[in-house]
Amino acid sequence: MSFLMSLAAFLPAMLSGILIAELLWDEKTLLAVLLKVCIGTGVGLGLSSLVFFLYLLAFPGGRLFPYIQLAALAILIWLAVRQGKLHFPRVDVRWKPGIWQAVILVCALVIVALAIAGAASVWTHRPFGTWDAFMIYDRSARFVYRGGASWTQTFSPDIDPAFHADYPLLLSMDIAQAWDTLGHESQSVPRVLGGVFMLICAGVFVAGLTMLKSAWQAAVGLIVLMNTPFFILSGPSQTADVPLTAYILSSVLLVFLFCSEQKPGLLVLAGLCAGLAAWTKNEGDVFVAGILAGLFIAFLRQDIWRRIGYFMAGLAFPLVIILYFKLFLAPANDILGTDAAGLIQRIFEWDRHLAILRSFRSQILVIGGTTISVVLLLALYALVFGITPKRVHRPAYVAVAITAVVQAIGYYAIYLVTPHPIKWQLDFSLWRVLFHIYLPLLFVFFVLVTDIPQALQLQRPAAPAETAI
């Protein structure tokens, strides 16, 4: 029951986000609607967190936020009705699975069931999540909810740096506002939130691949995603890695969709999701820098300023709030807020470079924590199935490749300057931060490789002119 109540506490935010996605992206197919539900749910949770932060700045200890959420939802419904956006999706399902489709579907169902059982095991045994979850996000949520008018004590200089009071507040604010709506603290709230972001991640992955390729390609992709232990462990563990990756993946997918549909709203949504990634975790800042650089280069000869402008229109609101938070509230970061002399000295310690490179190499091979190296498995898969990139997606491939490189360089630089013991920092976090890069690249991998029906000749292959890059 408390799970349902917790979910209900997030409903106004989630519905508002879905309506915002609907208003920004006018597409009526069933798949597009499903995708808007997944992306919009994340957008709603992110925007709700940002607005709750502003509300608390204006009215410390105020308890009227649930009414503001309901009012915002009512306005969005009115806008959607007025613009004729509320409609049933156009259903065009041709369901004629052959033997191979049935085999893929059964395998996907088996693996999804195993993944759910694994996630349920984590949920059952770790109601408070892992250490990062309760010492960073739940602790901060407790300061906000219990602190009332003194909620900014969560940024007190007396807080030990181990609690990372400088971390962005998306999860903490969402948890606190749900407690506010319920009128009491419930551990079900962060547990439900972790589950919702897992579903968003999987939903965006599957619906996106189905839109860009086929349901069978999406099912094979889902099999690999659901077999990633880090995904199964991290979601129910209530840490910020899966929410961050959900926003990164949404942003990447929206760039792909923009390339094929050329609708400005898609880039606005992509910018918004990128901004929400930065409001989820500091690593989101690196993603924002990467995707901006990527889009700049990808669209260099294609109406660049207008397109960057659309992206910035979505990014602006989260970015302004993040800048305010970082400049005026957050305490110094435990990695970058140290002495400049020591930082420069660490940059020239070649042993550190070697240690980081070795760790990157070994972690990439076992990325996601899989039993069998997923990198090698996917390399073999690409070798057998071949790749068939579409020309229309070319700017998206360029943007994603540059983003991934910038992320990798950014993470490398952070390890280089960290004042903490390098081995501890690498062992503790590298496998987690690589997941932020891995999942979008896994998505792009399945966009790149030949579609299952085409590769197995389950239907007529697409015309060569359409597939050649």
Interaction site with another protein (CB under 8 A)? 100, 103-104, 107, 110-111, 114-115, 117-118, 121-122, 124-128, 131, 134-135, 138-139, 142-143, 146-147, 150-151, 153-154, 156, 158-160, 162-163, 220, 223-224, 226-227, 229, 232-233, 370-372, 377, 380-381, 384-385, 452, 455-457
In the bound state with another protein, the residue whose beta carbon lies nearer, of 114 and 469, is: 114
**Burial profile 230-254: b = 16 or more Cβ within 10 angstroms, e = fewer:** bbbbbbbbbbbbbbbbbbbbbbbbb
CA max distance for the chain: 66
CB 286 within 8 A of CB 263: no
In the bound state with another protein, the residue whose beta carbon lies nearer, of 36 and 142, is: 142
Nearest distance in Å: CB 384, another protein: 4
DSSP 449: B
In the bound state with another protein, the residue whose beta carbon lies nearer, of 98 and 342, is: 98
Tokens 């924002």 belong to 288
In the bound state with another protein, the residue whose beta carbon lies nearer, of 220 and 268, is: 220
Q: Collect contacts of 220-224 with beta carbons under 8 A, ≥24 apart.
A: 220/104, 220/108, 220/446, 220/452, 221/442, 221/443, 221/446, 222/108, 222/111, 222/112, 223/104, 223/107, 223/108, 223/111, 224/374, 224/378, 224/442, 224/446
In the bound state with another protein, the residue whose beta carbon lies nearer, of 14 and 115, is: 115
- Nearest partner of 363 among 417, 410, 411, judged by Cα: 411
**What is d(CA 26, CA 152) in angstroms, rounded to the nearest whole number?**
40
Nearest distance in Å: CB 138, another protein: 7
Nearest distance in Å: CB 425, another protein: 15
CB 269 within 8 A of CB 254: yes
Nearest distance in Å: CB 135, another protein: 5
Nearest distance in Å: CB 151, another protein: 8
Nearest distance in Å: CB 127, another protein: 7
In the bound state with another protein, the residue whose beta carbon lies nearer, of 227 and 245, is: 227
CB 403 within 8 A of CB 293: yes
In the bound state with another protein, the residue whose beta carbon lies nearer, of 3 and 360, is: 3
DSSP 391: G
Nearest distance in Å: CB 144, another protein: 8
Q: Collect contacts of 402-406 with beta carbons under 8 A, ≥24 apart.
A: 402/290, 402/293, 402/294, 402/297, 402/298, 403/252, 403/287, 403/290, 403/291, 403/293, 403/294, 403/440, 404/290, 404/437, 404/440, 404/441, 405/290, 406/286, 406/289, 406/290, 406/293, 406/294
In the bound state with another protein, the residue whose beta carbon lies nearer, of 158 and 339, is: 158
In the bound state with another protein, the residue whose beta carbon lies nearer, of 110 and 468, is: 110
Nearest distance in Å: CB 118, another protein: 4
Nearest distance in Å: CB 231, another protein: 10
Nearest distance in Å: CB 197, another protein: 18
**Burial profile 425-445: b = 16 or more Cβ within 10 angstroms, e = fewer:** bbeebbbbbbbbbbbbbbbbb
Rounded to a whole number of angstroms, the CA Rg of the chain reads 22
In the bound state with another protein, the residue whose beta carbon lies nearer, of 29 and 121, is: 121
Residues 6+ apart with CB under 8 A from 418: 335, 346, 425
